[in-house]
Structure 1
């Protein structure tokens, strides 16, 4: 590499931020679930380290012309993740740091003439070596998002949000900033994809959480306030759905509506069943945010 690649710089910055997050975890935290089904934080962090090893192999392949498989086999890939997931935190941190440094060094060693050399992962189609950097950036950023910490799509490098990607990588990126679907609604209960069950929810692109009225002192009247909806805006919602409850006793303050209008957002206010139906419909093509109340 004849000069510092902007993408490699983004990878380094994203890795540093990931390591900061990981160093703030405890051993107990490693066992928490993530947005990757069946994987704990220990699995995700181990996978990011093994991915660095795999892509380092591909960089060697591109540089030398000698076929160097990313993984010996799909079974070896899976075993590497499972075997490392329950290690002590300090071992996982050291592994993640060392493997990431090795990837950086391998990328710097690739000459300009080799970046178009074809490589592949397991049985996938070949792709140019230049795509290795894009794949590593996505691995670090998207799996950081999967850890369910304070890091989400609003923290991504700006270039990543608009980067033109191959279809399968585009789908991976979009899945992390899609608004989660509501899978069940009944009196006093809302089930949300990847978030579990609660009475009331605040949902937005990339996630959400239970809506605790006590945080803002919200009551049925005068109703939803500016402070209730502000997070929907900061999380990148492109359209807003506000539910009024099953019996439509929950009001919405004029100030909240004026604030959302000032942000250029379309707002829908509806009874909760209708609000959930609309939100789920919008989530198929847009990035809605919603406040959902499941009782009166």
Structure 2
């Protein structure tokens, strides 16, 4: 096999070991992995296609939904092909540059997605709490600018992660017990001082994810307060229904990410294969479910998808 023809001390490569302890089940594990990835691609590409084709959907909310779909496609594509090549072909080798590139895009897209979700919460806040000014506050051009700012901010925040990793020395052990180059998993096999790497990544986690969660919570707190002031119960449900999809997506994206990241750092009592499975699932399951949730909960999108499906 390709992986075993390399010495572990090869300075230009790492070896991804898949899921330690579950090697015999790799073929079976590949089945849900490939299904999740295919459904994610089909669902998110459908959202992009329908929103792009249907001019009535060229609105801020759907533009944000397209941004979310792009980050979902990017994140799942960062890990699924390599994981499946390990499961199916035992292709475990990855170059140093390939590893750093994978880390950069995984975390850059995750940080961008967090900014998109925060903007979605703000979009719902304006739509419910200040509907008369919605069209002037949130224009397509302004949403595009916010998306660009989120992307540039993510690149600037995540780039030092890869630069700090490149300076680390790696000695005899170059085997990563993972299906992809997860940042902390790579840091752990270094034989140098990794204090700066660990601290910087933890600061990003707390500052970026923490600030986004605070702002999202604040937005939904104000939304709930505004909804409770509405006397009509029908209006209550209508207003809350517009937020349900966003809340579900944020819970699915944020909760597994925080749990996986923190347990990978501090959860010493949790089995390695549990860490790795969770780290894969949080990058595969939300991208698969996001377009389904929005398709079910957003009537305009659901109707347009149905219309295009009937034409085929």
TM over 0.5: no
Instruction: Say which structure is richer in strand.
Output: 1
Instruction: Say which structure is richer in helix.
Output: 2
Superposition TM-score tier, normalisation by shorter sequence: 0.3 to 0.5
Structure 1 length as normaliser, TM-score?
Answer: 0.33
Structure possessing the higher relative contact order (Cα contacts under 8 Å, 6 or more residues apart): 2
Structure 2 length as normaliser, TM-score?
Answer: 0.31
Q: Which has the larger radius of gyration?
A: 1
